[in-house]
Amino acid sequence: MAPTDHPDPLELIDRAQAVLDGAAASLRRLGGVDAHETFAYDLAHGASAIATARAIRAYAARGALETHLADAFLGLALNDLATRVLGREDLWGVTPDWFSHFRDFVAHERHPARLAALADTPGPRHLDPEFEMAAATFHRFALEQVRPHAEHVHRANADIPESIIDGLRDLGGFGLSVPEEFGGFATGAESDYLAMVVATEELSWGSLGIGGSLITRPEIMARALLSGGTPAQRAYWLPRLAEGTSLAAIAVTEPDFGSDVAGITTSATRVPGGWRLRGTKTWCTFAARADVLVLLARTDPDRSRAHRGLSLFLVDKERGDGHGFVLHQDPRPDDPTAGEGRLEGRPIDTIGYRGMHSYELSIDNWFVPDDHLVGGEEGLGRGFYYQMAGFENGRLQTAARAVGVMQAAYEAALDYARSRVVFGRALIDYELTRVTLGTMAAIIQGSRQFALEVARLMARGTGTLEASMAKAYVCRAAEWVTREALQIHGGMGYAEEYPVSRYFVDARVLSIFEGADETLSVKVIARRLVEGA
């Protein structure tokens, strides 16, 4: 335990928050995030780590191990903040001795003996019984149905087996965000978000590529419909999402406009009975297998209207071949001059996150009926907002996916360290190995508790900033944890004989999708912090 003369951890967190608030005010005086992007990025990540440290304090009250994990995480977060401020005190608006309040605590919590003592467990989650049962159910599914296929799909770049989709459908995994009145399991209570986080973590523990991401797309589509869909659209689509009879893919990103969603150029032109779509989308994951695309298009040709000229469409499609597809629409009798519609999907090869496959979509003359415009006429120009309602939840889900991948990597590293003998001793007996594992344990539990806390906030209608913070911090943490897990395996980690190499390349995508880390940190998190300074 920490010495009795150490400040209370919450006091240290408040002091760290004061440093961050002062930095946000300093950044505002200096011209804002666009004038100082590096400062803004460091502010966003420093604030995200401290927010995670605050979220785990309730967990600390559960017992001695829990307190140790929470204090260790705070020590890591404060040390990280120090590295961002060191040498730039004037920029951050602090005096040279600003770290004196934190030094003893950090030195104590980062002592090798303290971290090594945590090597063997990241601690229990302390979920309520109903969520413990949900976790156990999805964990068993991940163990028995997902993991047996994970390595083959990754190495062969194969498709997700239909047995996994069928099994997840039987579990009700596609209806976690769909209200009960539409055949789902959502009750409008806190439990909706918590169940989603718990299920996503366990499925990602099984495999990010063929487990953890399967329920993300129906979640995004469901949230978008609940945000802006007409009663008829909700009545038609939500039961199909809940049943898993309509599987969705999200078509937002474009080749020249990655995270800059407001700049997209794919057009929707009004024609008799509906709209004609033309343009190119990229990084549309699961597009071949999906039955419907949630597609953002420009309905107002005035580019100066930016995001206010975008609308959201539900695009029916046939299933295509996972290794590339071309779909056709016959000319419509009421619009014979338009010709045939064409939708082509070209798969994008990736180093990891295989199974769902991502595609570049070429869309030409594809017809969408009027009743597939989300929100109907009232939805014109509102597509960006409907889509963001889904993406906010997607960021929280991505944090949960990162926790699942980290947990899998940690367990693999711990098992290997216990069995691998080097210079006459098991790896687990070396201090450096134990410190690494102990650091992993603190990071994993801190990340997990933050994701659970954000779920509670979002259930109360808040937490959008915290969801972005969780996504930013936890996904970068997953890169470090999986890297160290691979390193503990040594040469065998770099081989494909052990799944830890898959965890490493899978984790790398987490800071890119659902909002690239740099854009999310500078344009969303730092900007919000500056506005509130």
**pLDDT, tens digit, for every residue of 73-105?**
999 999 999 999 999 999 999 999 999 999 999
Q: Is residue 511 part of a domain?
A: no
Please choose, from the candidates 401, 456, 474, the residue with its C-alpha nearest in 3D space to the C-alpha of residue 192: 456
Q: Is residue 442 part of a domain?
A: no
How confident is the model at residue 390, as a pLDDT? 80
Domain match, 16 and 100 both: yes
Please choose, from the candidates 518, 514, 520, the residue with its C-alpha nearest in 3D space to the C-alpha of residue 200: 514
Domain match, 230 and 263 both: no
Q: What is the mean pLDDT of residues 436-459?
A: 96
Please tell me the least confidently modeled range out of 3-12, 321-330, 343-352.
3-12
Domain match, 259 and 278 both: yes
Domain match, 198 and 275 both: no
In the structure, what pLDDT confidence band is assigned to residue 257 with cuts at 50, 70 and 90? low
Q: Is residue 490 part of a domain?
A: no
Active-site entry in 11, 254, 514, 518:
514
Dihedral (CA of 270, 271, 272, 275) sign:
negative
Q: What is the CATH number of the domain that holds 368?
A: 2.40.110.10
Strands (E) located in 387-518: 421-422, 425-426
How confident is the model at residue 21, as a pLDDT? 97
490 pLDDT exceeds 80?
yes
Please tell me the least confidently modeled range out of 1-15, 286-300, 303-317, 470-484.
1-15
Q: What is the mean pLDDT of residues 114-137?
A: 95
Dihedral (CA of 199, 202, 205, 211) sign:
negative
Q: What is the mean pLDDT of residues 266-294?
A: 94
Q: Please give the model's pTM, rounded to 2 decimal places.
A: 0.94
Domain match, 71 and 186 both: no
Q: What is the mean pLDDT of residues 395-413?
A: 96
Question: What is the count of structural domains for the chain?
Answer: 3
Which of 353, 384, 415 is a domain's end point?
A: 384
Whether 144 is a known active-site residue: answer no
Domain match, 133 and 89 both: no
Q: Is residue 469 part of a domain?
A: no
Domain match, 215 and 303 both: no
User: What percentage of the chain reaches a pLDDT higher than 70?
Assistant: 97
Parallel, antiparallel or unpaired: strands 274-285 and 267-271: antiparallel
Q: What is the mean pLDDT of the chain?
A: 93
In the structure, what pLDDT confidence band is assigned to residue 533 with cuts at 50, 70 and 90? confident
Q: Is residue 160 part of a domain?
A: yes
Which of 42, 75, 110 is a domain's end point?
A: 110
Domain match, 46 and 16 both: yes
Domain match, 359 and 265 both: yes
Which of 194, 224, 246 is a domain's end point?
A: 246
Please tell me the least confidently modeled range out of 22-31, 136-145, 200-209, 508-517.
508-517
Q: Is residue 170 part of a domain?
A: yes
In the structure, what pLDDT confidence band is assigned to residue 302 with cuts at 50, 70 and 90? confident
Q: What is the CATH number of the domain that holds 224?
A: 1.10.540.10
Please choose, from the candidates 520, 428, 419, 438, the residue with its C-alpha nearest in 3D space to the C-alpha of residue 476: 520
Distance from CA of residue 432 to its chain's centroid?
A: 30
Q: Is residue 226 part of a domain?
A: yes
Domain match, 253 and 380 both: yes
Domain match, 321 and 376 both: yes
Domain match, 166 and 222 both: yes
**Looking at this protein, which amino acid is placed at residue 98?**
W
Domain containing residue 179: 129-246
